[in-house]
């Protein structure tokens, strides 16, 4: 699972928007022409409610401002949706499903923390510790299984 999701995450920016949503361009990269952040947030909330229903959770995980694209992305905490807003006009550029976030949560085990509601990402920490240590152990033991017999044969001669 770690390998497959890692492969998908490696390709996310080159997936034509299927894994990771493409960033759309706004009308202006001049920050002085941008609308206030609270206005952009209200616009994003309205667009998400219109698209997904009024009962959708609006807790924000992060706001990703892209000055070089004139865009602000609102990414939400309790579901895998995002809203891209033109920072100057307030036009909705895209309401997206963030498949890359789902894959990332599978990759690092944090999906179990999310599903089970555990605090402090304890399952993620245990999962990544076991996965990382296993990878190191398998790499070292695999190298030894390959190199060890060569060393023994060399010493016999």
**Residue 146 scores a pLDDT above 80:** yes
DSSP annotation of 92 reads E
Taking only the tens place, the pLDDT of each residue in 57-93 is 999 999 999 999 999 999 998 899 999 999 999 999 9
- Strand ranges, E, within the chain: 60-66, 71-76, 81-86, 92-97
Residues 52 and 42: their CA atoms lie apart, in Å, by 15
- Would you place residue 153 in the very low, low, confident or very high pLDDT band (cuts 50, 70, 90)? confident
State residue 117's pLDDT score: 86
State residue 120's pLDDT score: 82
Burial per residue of 42-58, b for 16 or more beta-carbon CB atoms within 10 angstroms, e otherwise: ebbbebbeeeeeeeeee
**Residue 9 scores a pLDDT above 90:** yes
State residue 70's pLDDT score: 97
- Would you place residue 48 in the very low, low, confident or very high pLDDT band (cuts 50, 70, 90)? very high
Whether the model pTM is above 0.85: no
């Amino acid at each position: 699972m770690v390998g497959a999701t890692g492969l998908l995450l490696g390709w996310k920016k080159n997936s034509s928007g299927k894994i990771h949503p493409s960033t759309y361009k706004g009308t202006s990269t001049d920050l002085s022409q941008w609308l206030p952040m609270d206005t952009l947030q209200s616009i994003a909330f309205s667009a998400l409610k219109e698209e997904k229903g009024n009962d959708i959770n609006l807790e924000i995980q992060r706001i990703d401002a892209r000055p070089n694209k004139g865009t602000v992305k609102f990414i939400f905490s309790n579901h895998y949706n995002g809203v891209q807003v033109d920072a100057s006009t307030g036009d909705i550029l895209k309401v997206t499903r963030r498949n890359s976030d789902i894959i990332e949560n599978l990759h690092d085990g944090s999906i179990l923390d999310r599903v089970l509601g555990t605090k402090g990402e304890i399952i993620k920490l245990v999962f990544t510790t076991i996965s990382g240590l296993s990878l190191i152990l398998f790499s070292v033991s695999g190298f030894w299984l390959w190199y060890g017999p060569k060393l023994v044969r060399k010493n016999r001669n």
